[in-house]
Amino acid sequence: MKNNRLKISIFAMVLFAAMFSASVSIEAADWEPNRTWVFCVGLLEWKDSESFASFPKENRRDERLLKVLKDRGVPASQIVYLKDRAATTSRIATEFANLLARTREGDTLIVYYEGHGYKDDDRKTYFASWDVDDGSNKGWAVSSVPQTIERSFKGSTAIIAMDNCYSGAMIDAVRAAKRRVSYAVMASSSASQSSTGNWTFTEALISAFSGEAHADIDRDGTITFAELEVNAKADMLFGEEQIASFAFTGSFDPASRISAAAKAASPRVGERVEAYSVDGWYKGTIVDAKNGKFLIHYYGYEQSDDEWVLPKMIRVPKVASIYKIGDKVEVEWRSKWYPAHIVNIKGGSHLVSYDDYDTDENEWVSSKRIRKVK
Protein backbone atom coordinates (compact mmCIF):
# COMPACT_ATOMS: atom_id res chain seq x y z
CA MET A 1 0.00 0.00 0.00
CA LYS A 2 2.80 2.37 0.89
CA ASN A 3 4.56 1.56 -2.42
CA ASN A 4 1.37 2.20 -4.39
CA ARG A 5 0.93 5.59 -2.72
CA LEU A 6 4.54 6.38 -3.54
CA LYS A 7 4.02 5.41 -7.19
CA ILE A 8 0.85 7.51 -7.40
CA SER A 9 2.65 10.44 -5.76
CA ILE A 10 5.59 10.16 -8.14
CA PHE A 11 3.22 9.85 -11.12
CA ALA A 12 1.34 12.96 -9.97
CA MET A 13 4.54 14.94 -9.63
CA VAL A 14 5.75 13.84 -13.08
CA LEU A 15 2.36 14.69 -14.60
CA PHE A 16 2.35 18.10 -12.91
CA ALA A 17 5.91 18.78 -14.08
CA ALA A 18 5.00 17.83 -17.65
CA MET A 19 1.89 20.04 -17.56
CA PHE A 20 3.89 22.90 -16.05
CA SER A 21 6.62 22.48 -18.66
CA ALA A 22 4.06 22.51 -21.46
CA SER A 23 2.35 25.61 -20.08
CA VAL A 24 5.67 27.40 -19.82
CA SER A 25 6.62 26.62 -23.42
CA ILE A 26 3.21 27.82 -24.65
CA GLU A 27 2.94 30.89 -22.47
CA ALA A 28 6.57 31.90 -22.97
CA ALA A 29 5.85 33.27 -26.44
CA ASP A 30 3.49 36.04 -27.53
CA TRP A 31 4.25 35.20 -31.15
CA GLU A 32 1.76 32.68 -32.61
CA PRO A 33 3.48 30.35 -35.12
CA ASN A 34 0.24 28.75 -36.33
CA ARG A 35 -1.05 32.20 -37.33
CA THR A 36 2.19 33.14 -39.10
CA TRP A 37 2.93 33.33 -42.83
CA VAL A 38 6.53 33.30 -44.08
CA PHE A 39 7.90 34.67 -47.34
CA CYS A 40 11.57 33.77 -47.61
CA VAL A 41 13.90 34.75 -50.44
CA GLY A 42 17.45 33.38 -50.27
CA LEU A 43 20.05 33.97 -52.95
CA LEU A 44 23.64 32.76 -52.99
CA GLU A 45 24.15 33.01 -56.75
CA TRP A 46 23.05 35.34 -59.55
CA LYS A 47 22.72 35.23 -63.32
CA ASP A 48 25.02 38.27 -63.56
CA SER A 49 27.87 36.67 -61.64
CA GLU A 50 30.32 39.44 -62.52
CA SER A 51 28.27 42.16 -60.84
CA PHE A 52 26.98 39.96 -58.01
CA ALA A 53 29.50 37.52 -56.58
CA SER A 54 28.29 34.13 -55.38
CA PHE A 55 28.44 32.86 -51.80
CA PRO A 56 29.19 29.31 -50.56
CA LYS A 57 26.09 27.13 -50.45
CA GLU A 58 27.16 24.71 -47.72
CA ASN A 59 25.04 24.80 -44.57
CA ARG A 60 22.70 27.57 -45.69
CA ARG A 61 21.38 29.44 -42.65
CA ASP A 62 18.24 30.58 -44.50
CA GLU A 63 17.19 26.93 -44.68
CA ARG A 64 18.07 26.44 -41.02
CA LEU A 65 15.96 29.45 -40.07
CA LEU A 66 13.01 28.00 -41.99
CA LYS A 67 13.44 24.66 -40.20
CA VAL A 68 13.36 26.45 -36.85
CA LEU A 69 10.15 28.25 -37.82
CA LYS A 70 8.57 24.97 -38.93
CA ASP A 71 9.68 23.23 -35.74
CA ARG A 72 8.09 26.04 -33.76
CA GLY A 73 4.76 25.37 -35.47
CA VAL A 74 4.54 27.49 -38.62
CA PRO A 75 2.55 25.29 -41.07
CA ALA A 76 4.51 24.30 -44.18
CA SER A 77 1.51 25.37 -46.27
CA GLN A 78 2.02 28.93 -45.00
CA ILE A 79 5.66 29.17 -46.12
CA VAL A 80 6.96 30.26 -49.52
CA TYR A 81 10.69 29.81 -50.11
CA LEU A 82 12.30 31.10 -53.29
CA LYS A 83 15.92 30.03 -53.60
CA ASP A 84 18.61 31.16 -56.06
CA ARG A 85 17.42 30.62 -59.67
CA ALA A 86 13.79 30.44 -58.56
CA ALA A 87 13.98 33.95 -57.08
CA THR A 88 13.45 35.96 -60.27
CA THR A 89 12.02 39.46 -60.05
CA SER A 90 8.68 38.48 -61.60
CA ARG A 91 8.28 35.34 -59.50
CA ILE A 92 9.07 37.20 -56.28
CA ALA A 93 6.31 39.70 -57.07
CA THR A 94 3.80 37.00 -58.05
CA GLU A 95 4.44 34.63 -55.17
CA PHE A 96 4.48 37.45 -52.62
CA ALA A 97 1.10 38.72 -53.78
CA ASN A 98 -0.33 35.17 -53.80
CA LEU A 99 0.86 34.51 -50.25
CA LEU A 100 -0.58 37.76 -48.91
CA ALA A 101 -3.93 37.02 -50.58
CA ARG A 102 -4.26 33.87 -48.46
CA THR A 103 -3.76 35.61 -45.11
CA ARG A 104 -6.47 36.34 -42.58
CA GLU A 105 -7.30 39.06 -40.11
CA GLY A 106 -5.07 38.85 -37.03
CA ASP A 107 -2.29 36.93 -38.78
CA THR A 108 1.43 37.67 -38.58
CA LEU A 109 3.74 37.93 -41.58
CA ILE A 110 7.47 37.24 -41.66
CA VAL A 111 9.43 38.47 -44.69
CA TYR A 112 13.07 37.38 -44.88
CA TYR A 113 15.67 38.18 -47.52
CA GLU A 114 19.35 37.29 -47.71
CA GLY A 115 21.66 38.00 -50.61
CA HIS A 116 23.00 41.12 -52.26
CA GLY A 117 21.47 44.54 -51.75
CA TYR A 118 22.47 47.54 -53.83
CA LYS A 119 21.65 51.15 -54.65
CA ASP A 120 20.99 52.38 -58.19
CA ASP A 121 22.16 55.70 -59.66
CA ASP A 122 19.17 57.43 -58.04
CA ARG A 123 20.19 56.06 -54.61
CA LYS A 124 17.13 53.79 -54.45
CA THR A 125 17.76 50.47 -52.70
CA TYR A 126 17.00 47.05 -54.19
CA PHE A 127 17.27 43.40 -53.24
CA ALA A 128 19.14 41.70 -56.08
CA SER A 129 16.91 39.02 -57.60
CA TRP A 130 18.35 36.13 -59.62
CA ASP A 131 17.87 37.84 -62.99
CA VAL A 132 18.66 41.45 -62.02
CA ASP A 133 20.50 43.28 -64.80
CA ASP A 134 21.82 46.74 -65.63
CA GLY A 135 18.77 47.52 -67.71
CA SER A 136 15.11 47.71 -66.72
CA ASN A 137 15.19 44.74 -64.34
CA LYS A 138 16.56 46.29 -61.17
CA GLY A 139 15.36 43.55 -58.86
CA TRP A 140 13.01 43.66 -55.86
CA ALA A 141 12.60 47.28 -54.76
CA VAL A 142 12.91 47.69 -51.00
CA SER A 143 10.21 50.39 -51.04
CA SER A 144 7.76 47.98 -52.68
CA VAL A 145 7.77 45.57 -49.72
CA PRO A 146 5.76 47.66 -47.22
CA GLN A 147 3.64 49.05 -50.05
CA THR A 148 2.62 45.52 -51.10
CA ILE A 149 2.04 44.50 -47.48
CA GLU A 150 -0.23 47.48 -46.83
CA ARG A 151 -2.16 46.79 -50.02
CA SER A 152 -2.65 43.02 -49.74
CA PHE A 153 -1.87 41.67 -46.25
CA LYS A 154 -5.02 41.02 -44.22
CA GLY A 155 -3.22 40.62 -40.90
CA SER A 156 -1.98 43.23 -38.48
CA THR A 157 1.69 42.45 -37.73
CA ALA A 158 4.66 42.14 -40.06
CA ILE A 159 8.25 41.17 -39.22
CA ILE A 160 10.78 42.06 -41.92
CA ALA A 161 14.27 40.60 -41.46
CA MET A 162 17.11 41.17 -43.95
CA ASP A 163 20.71 40.01 -44.15
CA ASN A 164 22.21 42.10 -46.95
CA CYS A 165 23.98 45.34 -47.84
CA TYR A 166 22.06 48.57 -47.18
CA SER A 167 19.23 46.61 -45.54
CA GLY A 168 18.58 49.45 -43.08
CA ALA A 169 16.89 51.27 -45.96
CA MET A 170 13.82 49.18 -45.17
CA ILE A 171 13.28 51.25 -42.03
CA ASP A 172 12.96 54.39 -44.14
CA ALA A 173 10.65 52.56 -46.57
CA VAL A 174 8.35 51.39 -43.77
CA ARG A 175 8.22 54.82 -42.18
CA ALA A 176 7.41 56.41 -45.56
CA ALA A 177 4.50 54.03 -46.22
CA LYS A 178 0.93 54.75 -45.17
CA ARG A 179 0.74 52.29 -42.30
CA ARG A 180 -2.14 50.16 -41.15
CA VAL A 181 0.14 47.26 -40.18
CA SER A 182 2.51 47.28 -37.18
CA TYR A 183 6.10 46.37 -38.05
CA ALA A 184 9.29 44.98 -36.59
CA VAL A 185 12.10 45.77 -39.03
CA MET A 186 15.37 43.95 -38.43
CA ALA A 187 18.33 44.70 -40.69
CA SER A 188 21.92 43.47 -40.69
CA SER A 189 23.28 46.89 -41.69
CA SER A 190 22.39 50.55 -41.85
CA ALA A 191 20.94 52.19 -44.95
CA SER A 192 24.44 53.34 -45.87
CA GLN A 193 26.57 50.28 -45.14
CA SER A 194 27.61 47.21 -47.06
CA SER A 195 27.29 43.85 -45.32
CA THR A 196 29.70 40.96 -44.85
CA GLY A 197 29.27 37.61 -46.54
CA ASN A 198 28.94 35.87 -43.19
CA TRP A 199 25.68 34.57 -41.69
CA THR A 200 26.14 36.33 -38.34
CA PHE A 201 22.87 38.30 -38.45
CA THR A 202 20.77 35.32 -39.54
CA GLU A 203 22.38 33.25 -36.79
CA ALA A 204 21.14 35.83 -34.27
CA LEU A 205 17.60 35.32 -35.61
CA ILE A 206 17.97 31.55 -35.36
CA SER A 207 19.24 31.78 -31.78
CA ALA A 208 16.23 33.86 -30.72
CA PHE A 209 13.52 31.81 -32.44
CA SER A 210 15.03 28.50 -31.30
CA GLY A 211 15.41 29.65 -27.68
CA GLU A 212 19.16 29.24 -27.27
CA ALA A 213 20.42 30.09 -23.78
CA HIS A 214 22.94 32.73 -24.85
CA ALA A 215 20.14 34.77 -26.47
CA ASP A 216 18.34 35.22 -23.12
CA ILE A 217 20.06 38.35 -21.82
CA ASP A 218 18.18 38.79 -18.53
CA ARG A 219 18.07 35.03 -17.81
CA ASP A 220 14.32 35.06 -17.17
CA GLY A 221 13.66 31.99 -19.32
CA THR A 222 12.22 33.87 -22.31
CA ILE A 223 13.61 35.72 -25.30
CA THR A 224 11.98 38.94 -26.48
CA PHE A 225 12.29 40.98 -29.65
CA ALA A 226 14.10 43.60 -27.57
CA GLU A 227 16.69 40.99 -26.56
CA LEU A 228 17.01 39.89 -30.18
CA GLU A 229 17.75 43.50 -31.09
CA VAL A 230 20.44 43.88 -28.41
CA ASN A 231 22.09 40.58 -29.31
CA ALA A 232 22.02 41.10 -33.07
CA LYS A 233 23.45 44.61 -32.78
CA ALA A 234 26.20 43.43 -30.43
CA ASP A 235 27.05 40.45 -32.65
CA MET A 236 27.24 42.57 -35.79
CA LEU A 237 29.27 45.34 -34.18
CA PHE A 238 31.71 43.04 -32.41
CA GLY A 239 31.90 40.20 -34.91
CA GLU A 240 31.54 42.08 -38.19
CA GLU A 241 32.20 45.77 -37.32
CA GLN A 242 28.79 46.50 -38.76
CA ILE A 243 25.81 48.61 -37.62
CA ALA A 244 22.63 46.54 -37.46
CA SER A 245 19.36 48.52 -37.59
CA PHE A 246 16.03 47.85 -35.86
CA ALA A 247 12.70 49.67 -35.75
CA PHE A 248 9.30 48.92 -34.24
CA THR A 249 6.16 50.73 -35.37
CA GLY A 250 2.53 50.96 -34.40
CA SER A 251 1.44 48.57 -31.67
CA PHE A 252 4.37 46.18 -32.11
CA ASP A 253 5.81 45.75 -28.61
CA PRO A 254 9.56 44.98 -28.48
CA ALA A 255 8.90 43.26 -25.14
CA SER A 256 6.83 40.61 -26.95
CA ARG A 257 8.22 37.17 -26.27
CA ILE A 258 9.57 35.12 -29.16
CA SER A 259 10.32 31.88 -27.36
CA ALA A 260 11.13 30.11 -24.14
CA ALA A 261 14.88 29.92 -23.51
CA ALA A 262 17.11 27.10 -22.38
CA LYS A 263 18.81 27.61 -19.02
CA ALA A 264 22.35 28.97 -19.24
CA ALA A 265 25.00 26.62 -17.86
CA SER A 266 27.17 29.53 -16.68
CA PRO A 267 26.88 33.28 -16.07
CA ARG A 268 29.44 33.67 -18.86
CA VAL A 269 27.17 32.15 -21.50
CA GLY A 270 26.40 34.91 -24.00
CA GLU A 271 29.68 36.75 -23.34
CA ARG A 272 31.50 37.99 -26.45
CA VAL A 273 35.18 37.14 -26.24
CA GLU A 274 38.33 36.37 -28.14
CA ALA A 275 39.49 32.77 -27.88
CA TYR A 276 42.80 31.26 -28.90
CA SER A 277 42.54 28.50 -31.50
CA VAL A 278 45.40 26.81 -33.39
CA ASP A 279 47.22 29.88 -34.70
CA GLY A 280 45.69 33.00 -33.19
CA TRP A 281 42.88 34.82 -31.42
CA TYR A 282 39.38 34.70 -32.92
CA LYS A 283 36.19 36.55 -32.04
CA GLY A 284 33.29 34.48 -30.77
CA THR A 285 30.49 34.01 -28.26
CA ILE A 286 30.37 31.65 -25.29
CA VAL A 287 27.33 29.45 -25.98
CA ASP A 288 27.76 26.71 -23.36
CA ALA A 289 29.85 25.64 -20.37
CA LYS A 290 30.74 22.25 -18.93
CA ASN A 291 33.44 20.71 -16.72
CA GLY A 292 35.35 23.95 -16.39
CA LYS A 293 35.43 24.57 -20.16
CA PHE A 294 33.51 26.95 -22.42
CA LEU A 295 32.04 26.26 -25.85
CA ILE A 296 32.88 29.05 -28.31
CA HIS A 297 30.98 29.78 -31.50
CA TYR A 298 33.27 31.78 -33.78
CA TYR A 299 31.90 34.56 -35.97
CA GLY A 300 31.99 33.64 -39.64
CA TYR A 301 32.51 29.93 -39.00
CA GLU A 302 30.30 26.85 -39.08
CA GLN A 303 28.64 25.38 -36.01
CA SER A 304 30.85 22.33 -36.59
CA ASP A 305 33.82 24.60 -35.85
CA ASP A 306 32.53 25.38 -32.34
CA GLU A 307 35.25 24.58 -29.84
CA TRP A 308 35.56 23.75 -26.14
CA VAL A 309 38.34 25.84 -24.57
CA LEU A 310 39.82 26.40 -21.14
CA PRO A 311 39.36 29.78 -19.39
CA LYS A 312 43.03 30.63 -19.95
CA MET A 313 42.36 30.53 -23.71
CA ILE A 314 39.78 33.32 -23.44
CA ARG A 315 40.49 37.03 -23.19
CA VAL A 316 38.48 40.23 -23.00
CA PRO A 317 38.53 41.76 -26.49
CA LYS A 318 39.92 45.17 -27.32
CA VAL A 319 37.24 47.18 -29.12
CA ALA A 320 38.72 50.69 -29.16
CA SER A 321 39.40 52.09 -32.62
CA ILE A 322 42.89 53.24 -33.56
CA TYR A 323 41.26 56.20 -35.32
CA LYS A 324 39.43 59.22 -33.93
CA ILE A 325 36.73 61.51 -35.27
CA GLY A 326 38.16 63.98 -37.76
CA ASP A 327 41.06 61.78 -38.86
CA LYS A 328 41.91 61.93 -42.56
CA VAL A 329 42.01 58.43 -44.02
CA GLU A 330 41.71 56.45 -47.21
CA VAL A 331 38.76 54.11 -47.69
CA GLU A 332 38.63 51.07 -49.97
CA TRP A 333 35.75 50.71 -52.41
CA ARG A 334 35.86 47.95 -55.02
CA SER A 335 39.63 47.59 -54.80
CA LYS A 336 40.29 51.34 -55.11
CA TRP A 337 41.21 53.77 -52.33
CA TYR A 338 39.49 57.15 -51.87
CA PRO A 339 40.39 60.08 -49.59
CA ALA A 340 37.92 60.59 -46.74
CA HIS A 341 37.61 61.64 -43.11
CA ILE A 342 35.93 60.00 -40.14
CA VAL A 343 32.78 61.64 -38.79
CA ASN A 344 31.64 59.01 -36.25
CA ILE A 345 32.86 55.82 -34.60
CA LYS A 346 31.00 52.90 -33.01
CA GLY A 347 33.25 50.07 -31.88
CA GLY A 348 35.13 48.95 -34.97
CA SER A 349 32.68 50.59 -37.38
CA HIS A 350 33.43 54.04 -38.78
CA LEU A 351 31.15 56.55 -40.50
CA VAL A 352 33.24 58.14 -43.25
CA SER A 353 32.65 61.10 -45.54
CA TYR A 354 34.41 61.01 -48.88
CA ASP A 355 36.33 64.20 -49.65
CA ASP A 356 35.34 64.38 -53.32
CA TYR A 357 31.69 63.31 -52.99
CA ASP A 358 28.46 64.66 -51.49
CA THR A 359 27.47 63.71 -47.95
CA ASP A 360 24.73 61.41 -49.25
CA GLU A 361 27.61 59.06 -50.12
CA ASN A 362 28.62 58.82 -46.43
CA GLU A 363 28.74 55.24 -45.23
CA TRP A 364 29.67 53.05 -42.29
CA VAL A 365 32.73 50.91 -42.99
CA SER A 366 34.74 48.36 -41.03
CA SER A 367 38.33 49.00 -39.97
CA LYS A 368 39.44 46.56 -42.70
CA ARG A 369 38.41 49.12 -45.33
CA ILE A 370 40.32 52.02 -43.75
CA ARG A 371 43.97 52.94 -43.83
CA LYS A 372 45.92 55.94 -42.69
CA VAL A 373 46.92 58.50 -45.27
CA LYS A 374 50.43 57.73 -46.49
pLDDT per residue as tens digits for the range 228-268: 999 999 999 999 999 999 999 999 999 999 999 999 999 99
Residue 8 lies in a domain: no
Residue 300 lies in a domain: yes
Residue 266 lies in a domain: no
Q: What's the number of domains the chain is made of?
A: 3
Residue 323 lies in a domain: no
The one-letter amino acid at 101: A
* CATH code for the domain in which residue 288 is found: 2.30.30.140
Position 239 scores a pLDDT of 94
Considering the domain architecture, whether residues 100 and 230 belong to the same structural domain is answered as: yes
106 Ramachandran zone, left/alpha/beta (phi>0; psi -120 to 50): left
Residue 299 lies in a domain: yes
Considering the domain architecture, whether residues 282 and 363 belong to the same structural domain is answered as: no
Position 28 scores a pLDDT of 54
Which DSSP state fits 301? S
Considering the domain architecture, whether residues 101 and 51 belong to the same structural domain is answered as: yes
The length of the chain, given as a count of residues: 374
Considering the domain architecture, whether residues 339 and 278 belong to the same structural domain is answered as: no
Q: Where do runs of H (alpha helix) occur along the chain?
A: 2-27, 61-72, 89-101, 144-152, 169-176, 200-210, 225-240
Considering the domain architecture, whether residues 77 and 168 belong to the same structural domain is answered as: yes
Contacts of 106 by beta carbon, 8 Å cutoff, 6+ apart? 35, 155, 156
Distances (CA, A) of 262 to 20, 24, 31, 205, 215: 15, 12, 18, 16, 9
Considering the domain architecture, whether residues 139 and 167 belong to the same structural domain is answered as: yes
The parts of the chain modelled with pLDDT lower than 70 are 1-29
Residue 16 lies in a domain: no
Residue 9 lies in a domain: no
* CATH code for the domain in which residue 245 is found: 3.40.50.1460
Considering the domain architecture, whether residues 211 and 354 belong to the same structural domain is answered as: no
The rounded distance, in Å, linking the Cα atoms of 56 and 300 is 12
Considering the domain architecture, whether residues 256 and 289 belong to the same structural domain is answered as: no
Considering the domain architecture, whether residues 143 and 198 belong to the same structural domain is answered as: yes
Map residue 205 onto helix, strand or coil. helix
Residue 287 lies in a domain: yes
Task: Residue 282: give the domain boundaries.
Answer: 272-315
Q: At what angle do helices 200-210 and 61-72 cross, to 10 degrees?
A: 10
Position 29 scores a pLDDT of 66
